[in-house]
Amino acid sequence: MSTDLVLQKVETLLAGFAKGTAKPEPNRLDLNIDASDLIAAITALRGARWGYLAALTGVDLGKEANQIEALYHLCEGDAIATLRVRVPRAGGAVPSVYALHPNSMFFERELMEMFGVTVTGLADTSHLFLPDGWPDGMYPLLKDTDVKAAAARTMGSEPPEMGRQGDRFIVPIGPQHPALKEPGHFEFAVDGELVTGATVRLGYVHRGIERACEQQNYTQNLYLTERVCGICSHSHANAYVNGVEQLAKVLAPPRAQAIRQLVACLERIHSHFLWLGVAAYEAGFETLLMYSWRDREVVMDVLEQMTGNRVNYSASVLGGVKYDVTAAHAAAIRRAMDTIEERATHYLHVVTTDTSFLARAQGIGVTSTEEADALGLLGPTLRAAGVTRDVRVDAPYGSYQQFPVTASVDSAGDLAARFKVRMLETLESVRVIRAILDGLPEGDLTVKFPRKIPAGETISRFEAPRGELFYYIKSNGTDKPERVKIRTPSICNWIYVLTKAVGSQMADVPPLLAGIDPCFSCNDRMIVVNRHGGDRRIWTREDLRRHASTQTRR
């Protein structure tokens, strides 16, 4: 079904609700909807099984317009339908769509705390990213918020309650915990070994990236978006570059696009090997961690040779790439691919046949295809449940049309399936890299790129190792973007952990957490302020010791 027909279906379904439609790009349809019609509109789409809720963007239209626009982006294959809901800046409200799309829980909490839009019907309205002591009425992503003023006010932080809470025995995982590579706070209510409740609190690695993007020019933002995440840094940079290139209507030369895809595939291998080690370690298989990370070094050395850094490759620039693939690089990459292929095949064999490993991975956290789709999961987590959804296949960008990728899918839906899917993806990436090296187009590396980008909006989707990365970029004709919205795949996958943790054993929770390949840094991109407000005193060793011992008896 062509994209036009797909979008026409939306127009027909929502004919009664849309107050106006527009087609800003061939694959996008914008519909203006009233807040009161939102639930009906989304129900109509869900009923026709059209699309999944990819992201919810809030845009501040400015003090003069005095409105905030909430954009509900739904994607089906290549087509993106955006329901645009305008609410007043002060006191605006939208209904919650949690019943229809469970992953909207995180999007809506984010909308509430960043823009001040009330979402009615939402069960949990506590802060998601902002600290508990954040001053009321201060919404970081509004254009006129003075963040420095917020920093000046002291924000205390109470340590969490210890021991029992009423009848429930709470086990905290995080913010500091050997299971977590980055801080996040999970509270699991347990009864013996059985988990009976789960909550999540994110935001410990807030860095204010979305807001910072509005204050730097497009080139500087390349490096800001790259640093959203360490292991999917190239995916972020590339998604951003694709978006800005769409806005400027400039196409990068074919060689540059192929090199971008090459680096992306290498990054995928790097990420999956890292994940393999980490997930195995969470389940207690330390040896696999050591071996997979040893083999990961092979890929990192190749990337370092080519781009100059092991992480944060900075390979893409607006209009092309910085670095070329020379014959020496190509030879080194091919050698590396031989090693990787052999090791990935071995690991695939290990994770699918080793008895003691399968005892911890098989049958853990099983989702059916319908459930995975309904929850709105993304990436390998979804593909391991039998849903073939991969942006590289559904909406190929860049050189993916020239070097296509097959999505790796498994239908078991459990943790073991996730291991298998990621190893299969690694092998697929090896194949694609070889294809690229064999067929690398000649030509320039960069093309001229304007400094000022014409006003417009664009959506750029990219398949990061963790799932679909969604970038919404709005330009205003200057050299700085108006709004950059980054929706990372990990935020959609948390719902899986919360749902599956309840009813499973405590010992299975860290592997479940690791199974979605969580990237906390990807989640937390919002404003960060010094936690201890105006207290600029540096804590000495004595201070720390005294603080720690007030919790203890001496």
Q: Rounded to the nearest whole angstrom, what is the least distance from the CB of residue 507 to other proteins in the complex?
A: 4
Task: Pick the piece of the chain touching other proteins (CB under 8 A) from 84-92, 106-114, 269-277, 302-310.
Answer: 302-310
As a whole number of angstroms, the distance between CA 157 and CA 160 comes to 9
Q: Quote the tokens at residue 287.
A: 């040896």
Residue 552 lies near other proteins (rule: CB under 8 A): yes
Residue 162 lies near other proteins (rule: CB under 8 A): yes
Residue 65 lies near other proteins (rule: CB under 8 A): no
**Cα separation of the two ends of the chain:** 72
Q: Rounded to the nearest whole angstrom, what is the least distance from the CB of residue 124 to other proteins in the complex?
A: 23
Give the count of residues interacting with other proteins (CB under 8 A).
72
Q: Rounded to the nearest whole angstrom, what is the least distance from the CB of residue 364 to other proteins in the complex?
A: 10
Cβ proximity to other proteins, 137 vs 192, nearer residue: 192
Cβ proximity to other proteins, 52 vs 285, nearer residue: 285
Q: Rounded to the nearest whole angstrom, what is the least distance from the CB of residue 49 to other proteins in the complex?
A: 38
Among 131, 172, 175, 456, binds other proteins (CB under 8 A): 172
Q: Is the dihedral of CA 32, 37, 43, 47 positive or negative?
A: negative
Q: Rounded to the nearest whole angstrom, what is the least distance from the CB of residue 353 to other proteins in the complex?
A: 4
Q: Rounded to the nearest whole angstrom, what is the least distance from the CB of residue 552 to other proteins in the complex?
A: 5
Task: Pick the piece of the chain touching other proteins (CB under 8 A) from 70-78, 163-171, 400-408, 424-432.
Answer: 163-171
Residue type for position 543: D
Question: Which residues inside 307-326 make contact with other proteins, applying CB under 8 A?
Answer: 307-309, 312, 314, 317, 322-323
Among 79, 130, 288, 387, binds other proteins (CB under 8 A): 288
Residue 536 lies near other proteins (rule: CB under 8 A): no
Phi (first) and psi of residue 141, to 5 degrees: -90, 5
Q: Rounded to the nearest whole angstrom, what is the least distance from the CB of residue 416 to other proteins in the complex?
A: 12
Please work out, in degrees rounded to the nearest 5, the angle formed at the alpha carbon of residue 209 by the alpha carbons of 207 and 214. Answer: 145
Check: CB of residue 460 under 8 Å from CB of residue 474: no
Among 158, 192, 503, 536, binds other proteins (CB under 8 A): 192
Question: Which residues inside 457-516 make contact with other proteins, applying CB under 8 A?
Answer: 505-510
**299 sits in which H/E element:** helix 286-307
Cβ proximity to other proteins, 12 vs 176, nearer residue: 176
Q: Rounded to the nearest whole angstrom, what is the least distance from the CB of residue 107 to other proteins in the complex?
A: 27
Check: CB of residue 29 under 8 Å from CB of residue 81: yes
Q: Rounded to the nearest whole angstrom, what is the least distance from the CB of residue 288 to other proteins in the complex?
A: 7
As a whole number of angstroms, the distance between CA 336 and CA 84 comes to 47
3-state secondary structure of 353: helix
Cβ proximity to other proteins, 71 vs 283, nearer residue: 283
One character per residue 142-161, x = contact with other proteins (rule: CB under 8 A): -----xx-------------
Among 12, 287, 388, 411, binds other proteins (CB under 8 A): 287
Residue 290 lies near other proteins (rule: CB under 8 A): yes
Question: Which residues inside 202-241 make contact with other proteins, applying CB under 8 A?
Answer: 212, 215-217, 219-224, 226-227
Residue 275 lies near other proteins (rule: CB under 8 A): no
Cβ proximity to other proteins, 147 vs 331, nearer residue: 147
Q: Is the dihedral of CA 436, 442, 448, 453 positive or negative?
A: negative
Residue type for position 142: L
For residue 446, the 8-state DSSP code is B
3-state secondary structure of 550: coil
As a whole number of angstroms, the distance between CA 405 and CA 533 comes to 49
As a whole number of angstroms, the distance between CA 285 and CA 352 comes to 14
Contacts (Cβ under 8 Å, ≥6 apart) of 495: 102, 103, 105, 106, 375, 376, 377
3-state secondary structure of 441: coil
Residue 553 lies near other proteins (rule: CB under 8 A): yes
- Residue 373 CA, chain-centre distance (Å), reads 17
Contacts (Cβ under 8 Å, ≥6 apart) of 543: none
Among 91, 137, 159, 163, binds other proteins (CB under 8 A): 163
As a whole number of angstroms, the distance between CA 406 and CA 519 comes to 24
Cβ proximity to other proteins, 356 vs 401, nearer residue: 356
Among 49, 64, 356, 448, binds other proteins (CB under 8 A): 356
Cβ proximity to other proteins, 249 vs 349, nearer residue: 349
Q: Rounded to the nearest whole angstrom, what is the least distance from the CB of residue 263 to other proteins in the complex?
A: 13
Task: Pick the piece of the chain touching other proteins (CB under 8 A) from 15-23, 27-35, 186-194, 408-416.
Answer: 186-194
Cα–Cα nearest to 121, from 113, 129, 109, 136: 109
Residue 360 lies near other proteins (rule: CB under 8 A): yes
| HEC string for 57-121 | EEEECCCCCCEEEEEEEEEECCEEEEEEEEEECCCCEEECCCCCCCCHHHHHHHHHHHHCCEEEC
Residue 438 lies near other proteins (rule: CB under 8 A): no
Task: Pick the piece of the chain touching other proteins (CB under 8 A) from 99-107, 303-311, 418-426, 491-499.
Answer: 303-311
As a whole number of angstroms, the distance between CA 461 and CA 301 comes to 28
Residue 225, CA distances (Å) to 202, 233, 475 in order:
19, 8, 16
Q: Rounded to the nearest whole angstrom, what is the least distance from the CB of residue 151 to other proteins in the complex?
A: 11
Residue type for position 115: F
